[in-house]
Amino acid sequence: MNTESETAKSRKAVSEAVVGQFSWGLMILFVLVSACWVLLPYTGYQFTAMVFLMVIVLAGTRWNRGPVLAMAVVSALVWNFFFIPPQFTLHIDKPQDMIMFALFFVVALSMGHLITRLREREAAVEQYHAEREQLLEAKHRAELLAESERLHRTLLDSVSHELKTPIAIIRTALDGLGQGNAYAGEIETANLRLQRIVENFLEMTRVESEALVPRPDWCEISDVLHGATAPLKRELGERRLRVSGAEELPLLMLDSRLLAQVLGNVLHNATLYAPGGSEIEIHMVLENGILEMRVRDHGQGLALGVEDHLFDKFYRAPDSPAGGTGLGLAIARGLMWAMKGDIEARNHPEGGAEFTLSLPVKTRQA
């Protein structure tokens, strides 16, 4: 598409240039003819032919083939008509003039042709070199990028492995201890918190490294809901989730893992502020190809001026309980942006905070 329109544009530019060259050529010939006409008694008509040839050669070094060949033809005819005796006819008397005319014609045409062809070849070679250089540069850049991404990934993998292994060991050991020990319960809570912190840091790094590429696929919204709520059973506790609008949704083209993570982070944030036993509402609408998910809790709502910083990295609201990293919502926004969507927060008119995730999606009726 793009290159086609560019070619069309450059073609247009060339044709405009050619029209310009035709008119310039005519003008120059007119001036030359007038000058040579004035000088004719002193120089003789053969001199005029040489002047014309020179102009054609010079034009050939700058202009396109069409105008140059036209100049050659026009100047030959003009020379014949105005300068070769008998003047003001295309008739030629002397045989040597006839030969002169024929030679002029041939020389002018072939000079024009040769020079423009030479120039075209030069331009092609130049373009070839420029393109080659561009390609090499692009390749080099791609290689550097791939290499840095690979390093990044390796580092992330090994840090991830080193940090998660002890957490996994603690988890398994705690399972072995069994339920009912209050001290073990505290360790478990702390371990889960540690796990969340580590995961958040790793995820934030991933979001910021731009190594994160969404992989959209057809999915049902129930997959997203399940993916978001299943890991949060413990945090949700006795808070009730009320989901509306999910039934009417068609199949959606989106990265369900990423969206589930965003929704999970927003829900986790809500559990920190919504009192136990209250309701957290998730409402979904699909309008004009935009999927909107509104998550509303019945907590205190957002403090004044908090909205602007809520999604900043490491930002912690003044009333936020201890234990957060200030990364959950920053990650949520990073992921939404990576998916070309957005996330906003405001206070619901009837109290409580309301987060709105919006995401452009393709749909398909199941």
Partner 1 sequence: MSKALIIDDEQQMRRLLRMVLESRGYEVCEAAEGQLGLQEAAFQRPDVVLLDLGLPGNGGMDVLKRLREWSDVPVLILSVRDREAVKVEALEAGADDYVTKPFGTAELLARLTVIQRRRFTRQSVEIGAGGVTINLLHHEARLHDEVMKLTPIEFALLRVLLEFSGRIVTQNQIIKRVWAGQSSDPSEGLRVHINHLRKKLGVTGPRIVNEPGIGYRLEVG
Task: Please say whether the beta carbons of 258 and 335 come within 8 A.
Answer: yes
The contacts of residue 258 (CB under 8 Å, 6+ apart) are: 214, 335, 338, 339
**Could you say whether residue 157 binds partner 1 (CB under 8 A)?**
yes
**Could you say whether residue 219 binds partner 1 (CB under 8 A)?**
yes
Q: Exactly one of 89, 165, 181, 244 binds partner 1 (CB under 8 A); which one? A: 165
Q: Tell me whether residue 93 or residue 175 sits nearer to partner 1 (CB atom).
A: 175
Q: Tell me whether residue 132 or residue 362 sits nearer to partner 1 (CB atom).
A: 362
**Could you say whether residue 364 binds partner 1 (CB under 8 A)?**
yes
**Could you say whether residue 164 binds partner 1 (CB under 8 A)?**
yes
Fill in the DSSP letter of residue 231: G
**Could you say whether residue 278 binds partner 1 (CB under 8 A)?**
no
**Could you say whether residue 26 binds partner 1 (CB under 8 A)?**
no
Least separation in angstroms between residue 224's CB and partner 1 is 9
User: What CA–CA distance (Å, rounded) separates 183 from 20?
Assistant: 91
* Interface positions, 225-264, toward partner 1 (CB under 8 A): 226-227, 251, 255-257, 260
Binding-site size, partner 1 (CB under 8 A):
31
Q: Exactly one of 41, 86, 95, 176 binds partner 1 (CB under 8 A); which one? A: 176
The type of residue at 293 is M
Q: DSSP string spanning 296-347?
A: E--SS-PPTT-TTTTTSTT---TTPPTT--S-HHHHHHHHHHHTT-EEEEEE
Q: Tell me whether residue 42 or residue 233 sits nearer to partner 1 (CB atom).
A: 233
* Interface positions, 195-214, toward partner 1 (CB under 8 A): 195
Surface-to-core class of residue 212, CB atoms within 10 Å of its CB (0-12 exposed, 13-18 middle, 19+ buried) = middle
b/e 24-63 (16+ beta carbons within 10 angstroms → b)? ebeeebeebbeebeeeeeeeebeebbebbbebbbebbeeb
Secondary structure class of 286 (helix, strand, coil): strand
**Could you say whether residue 16 binds partner 1 (CB under 8 A)?**
no
The stretch near partner 1 (CB under 8 A) out of 45-53, 215-223, 278-286, 297-305 is 215-223
Q: What does the binding site for partner 1 look like in residue numbers (CB under 8 A)?
A: 157, 160-161, 164-165, 167-173, 175-176, 195, 215, 217-220, 222-223, 226-227, 251, 255-257, 260, 364, 366
